[in-house]
Amino acid sequence: MATQQLESKWEGKFIANRKHPKAEQVWPLLEDFFNFHNWLPNIDTCHQINSNNKDETIRYCASTAPPLSSDNGEAIIKWCHEKLLTVNKIERCLSYEVLDNNIGIRSYVSTLKVLASDGADEGGCQIEWSFVADPIDGLTLELFSGYVESSLQGMAENIEKALESSKLGDFVSSN
């Protein structure tokens, strides 16, 4: 029933397993709330914006979509303001919610966690991305979940590549 779907919340949880980086190497990269664009493949910019409440931490994230033929050749900028809700350094997780945006999101709360991999090997970790959201006009839960899952996998790959290709991994693990 369509009314039922409109009233219910969307929920999802996805995990990216990484074989080499340790949770303590990955966490500092995700903990930086304003560094999201360096890891998430489809975000062009991410930076802090001023809030009327000094106790709030809010970021602006945006991506540029190629122009549609109906848009007179102008690129489309999709953006949102996101408020940091919690950071737990011991549990290696953070939560945020989407505030203002131009992409049709009414309510969205997300949690990112970095977990040590189960098993006897010393390396590896899991990055978990969960969300609760109101349905988004023009999307299905399956499409939105596919977007979140592919974003998570891309983010995990970018983090792993950065740690492997630089001394960043050694630096992070030694501090």
State the average pLDDT over residues 82-104: 96
CB atoms within 10 A of CB 61: 21
Confidence of residue 122 (pLDDT cuts 50, 70, 90): low
Distance set, CA 109 to CA 10, 69, 99 (Å) = 10, 34, 10
User: Dihedral sign, CA of 25, 29, 30, 36?
Assistant: negative
Confidence of residue 65 (pLDDT cuts 50, 70, 90): confident
Global pTM value = 0.84
* pLDDT for the residue 161: 92
Whether the Cβ atoms of residue 83 and residue 97 lie closer than 8 Å to each other: yes
Q: Pairing between strand 58-65 and 45-49?
A: antiparallel
What tens digit of pLDDT does each residue of 10-32 get?
999 999 999 989 999 999 999 99
CA distance 46 to 37: 6
* pLDDT for the residue 169: 46
State the average pLDDT over residues 109-129: 86
